[in-house]
Amino acid sequence: MMNTPSSSSDDPKPAGVQPALAPSEALHDQLYRYAEDLQQMVQRNEELERQYDALVAYSSKLFASGKELDAVIRSSRDIHLVTDVSGRILQANPAASILASQDKLIGASLSDWISPSHIERFQELLDKVVLHVAGVDEQDELQLEHLVGDAAQISTSVQVFSIREATGTQDLHWVIRDISTLRERELDNQVSSMVLNNASEGVMVADTEGRILAVNPAFGRITGYDAVEMIGQDLRILQSGRQGEQFYDEMWVALKATGVWQGRVYNKKKNGEIYPELLSISAAKDSDGKVLTYIGVFSDLSNLIEPESKIAQFAFYDSLTGLPNRMLLHDRMEQALATAERTGGSFTLLFIDLNQFKKVNDGFGHAVGDAVLQEVSRRMQAALEECDTLARLGGDEFIVLSPRLLDDIGIDQLCGRLFSALAAPLNIGGGEVRIGACLGCATYPVHGGDADTLLLHSDQAMYDAKKVGGNAYSIFGSGCVHAHGRAE
């Protein structure tokens, strides 16, 4: 009889079969697995929350940056436009109003605002940025017009970026900057440079301390110094020594007070030659009025001095005798009046009319008459003191201006010297001619307070002397005529 195997724990178990857990153990194991899964879920949720918070923070920053960028674009002085690839305007910032209002811009083609001469350049720029990869930008200069058909143009610097939307469409961002003023300044600088380099006048720029910063080519042609030799040198290197420190001190005082100065200066060339120049100096200032530099422009007057002297000779001197004429006499009388008024002094005027000159002129001819006037002028000039002025009014009339108050004795002595100078016969044309004179005297301020009155009264006194005939003189208002050597 076969025995049935017992179910003892020592009985062998099939391979791979785990022993069954007790209900409490199985529950504990399952709960442990649940706890692990729950822990992992909590960790994943915490990570998701961190990522979400970071995403929210990033989105906030991105939104703030977008608003900030939008504010920057809206407040920018540059024109910002967004167009499609054909150039049709989709967006425009307020600065674009320089071209037209928003309602005219949006939907219009940017090419409508491009000057006809720049349309081809605009199309090339558009093609480049469309064909390039997204994000690559192109830059050029374009001429724009305010409105279609308007002649007013704007020089601009244009930069365009290719941008792509999430949908894959391609748009273009244009940044347009008005550089009209910059181009105008560049043109002005070019013109100024051309003028400076081609000017016949010498130009030098100095700092406020008087050190030379720049010179033009004409400066070198006039002075003999080139730019390399002069840059950094003190302006005193050009001084000739003819004009003292007081002259230059007064020049700088005037320049600092008014910002400009003009006058004649004697400067010295590199070879030591001293030459006259007409110098104009202007102060260049910044927007606050601070002097930055001084600009000097000068012309060489060497070739003008002689003609100028001749002009002055014709204007102020008698062409026959070389004596001061009526114009120069009037100027010296005004100077004498001003000096007398300032100092409380006086001066004497003597009117001279030659005797028998008309007979000489008519009898011997004008050539002899001219020779007589020249010799008489030379003799009378020799009888006067250096401070006295002998002038010819015209014909045979002369004036002596003595810058001193002459009393009766002094007047008598002066008239006596003149009579003596004229007493000797004149040898003219192989014959002898005798010329006398009548003189009339007036003094300031006794006989007049202005030039015209003094001339009139000295003339009247001369006619009083002429009534006697011969050589005689009279003092205005005295009622007395003094013949040469006696009184009547």
58, part of any domain: yes
Read off the pLDDT band of 368 (50, 70, 90): confident
Q: Does some domain include residue 140?
A: yes
Same domain, 364 and 440: yes
**Total Cβ atoms within 10 A of residue 458:** 26
Whichever domain contains 340, its CATH number is: 3.30.70.270
Helices 326-343/302-316 angle, 10° precision: 90
Beta bridge partners of 115: none
Q: How many CB atoms lie within 10 A of CB 378?
A: 13
Question: In the structure, what pLDDT confidence band is assigned to residue 148 with cuts at 50, 70 and 90?
Answer: very low
Domain-ending residue, one of 137, 155, 183: 183
Decide if pLDDT at 150 tops 50: no
Largest CA distance in the chain: 211
Based on the fold, state whether residues 470 and 349 are members of the same structural domain.
yes
- Amino acid letter at 444? Y
Containing structural domain, residue 102: 76-183
Nearest Cα neighbor of 277 from 301, 295, 261 is 301
The share of the chain scoring above pLDDT 70, in percent, equals 83
Predicted pLDDT at 439: 94
Which residue type, as a one-letter code, is found at position 481?
A: V
pLDDT category, 445, cuts 50, 70, 90? very high
421 assigned to some structural domain: yes
Mean pLDDT score of the chain: 82
Asked if 132 and 213 sit in the same domain, the reply is: no
For 53-102, the pLDDT digits (tens) are 777 666 666 666 656 666 667 778 888 888 888 889 988 888 888 888 88
3-state secondary structure string, 200-254? Answer: CCEEEEECCCCEEEEECHHHHHHHCCCHHHHCCCEHHHHECCCCCHHHHHHHHHH
The upper half-sphere exposure of residue 88, i.e. CA atoms within 13 Å in the direction of its Cβ, equals 5
Alpha helices in 317-423 (DSSP H): 326-343, 357-364, 366-383, 408-423
Asked if residue 457 and residue 402 are part of one domain, the reply reads yes
Residues 356 and 460 in one domain: yes
Say how many residues make up the chain.
488
Q: In CATH, what number is assigned to the domain containing residue 233? A: 3.30.450.20
The answer as to whether 136 is a domain residue is: yes
Same domain, 286 and 410: no
In a shared domain, residues 179 and 204: no
- Please check whether residue 128 lies inside any domain of the structure: yes
Q: What integer pLDDT is reported at residue 3 of this predicted model? A: 47
DSSP secondary structure letters along 158-176: EEEEEEE-TTS-EEEEEEE
For the chain, how many structural domains are there in total? Answer: 4
The Cα 484–Cα 56 span in angstroms is 126
Q: Are 80 and 73 in contact (CB under 8 A)?
A: yes
Q: Which residues on neighbouring strands pair with residue 82, listed in sequence order?
A: 91, 173
> Residue 203 in contact with residue 215, Cβ under 8 Å?
yes
The DSSP secondary-structure symbol of 429 reads T
Cβ neighbours around 230 below 10 Å, total: 21
Which amino acid, one-letter code, is at 132? Answer: H
Mean pLDDT score, 434-452 = 92
Is residue 329 domain-shared with residue 463, that is, in the same domain?
yes
pLDDT band at 146 (very low <50, low <70, confident <90, very high): low
Residues 282 and 345 in one domain: no
pLDDT band at 31 (very low <50, low <70, confident <90, very high): confident
12 band by pLDDT with thresholds 50, 70 and 90: low
Cα three-residue angle 271-228-213, rounded to 5 degrees: 105
pLDDT at 390 over 90: yes
Window from 239-243, 257-261, 304-308, 427-431 with minimum mean pLDDT: 304-308
One-letter amino acid of 261 = W
CB 400 within 8 A of CB 414: yes
Among 156, 183, 210, give the residue marking a domain's end.
183
- Comparing CA positions, the residue from 449, 450, 447 lying closest to residue 461 is 447
Pair 376, 291 in one domain: no
Domain-located, residue 280 = yes
Task: Give the pLDDT score at 306.
Answer: 58
Q: Give yes or no: residues 287 and 168 share one domain.
A: no
Q: How far apart are CA 431 and CA 426, in angstroms?
A: 8
- Residue (of 440, 288, 119) closest to 448 by Cα position: 440
340 with 477, same domain: the answer is yes
Contact predicate 174/157, CB 8 Å: no
Q: Tokens standing for 14?
A: 């099939």
The tens digit of pLDDT for each residue in 288-336 reads 888 889 999 999 888 776 555 556 566 788 888 889 998 889 989 998 9
Distance CA 227, CA 219 (A): 8
pLDDT score for 308: 58
pLDDT at 409: 87
- Is there a domain that residue 44 lies in? yes
Considering the domain boundaries, does residue 387 fall inside one? yes
**Helix pair 451-466, 326-343: axis angle to 10 deg:** 110
The values of phi and psi at residue 214, to 5°, are -160, 150
Picking from 23, 57, 74, the residue at the C-terminal end of a domain is 74
Buried (b) or exposed (e) across 38-62, using 16+ Cβ within 10 A?
eeeeeeeeeeeeeeeeeeeeeeeee
Question: pLDDT (tens digit, 9 = 90+) per residue, 189-233?
Answer: 676 677 677 778 889 999 988 899 988 898 999 999 988 889 999
β-pair partners for 443: 348
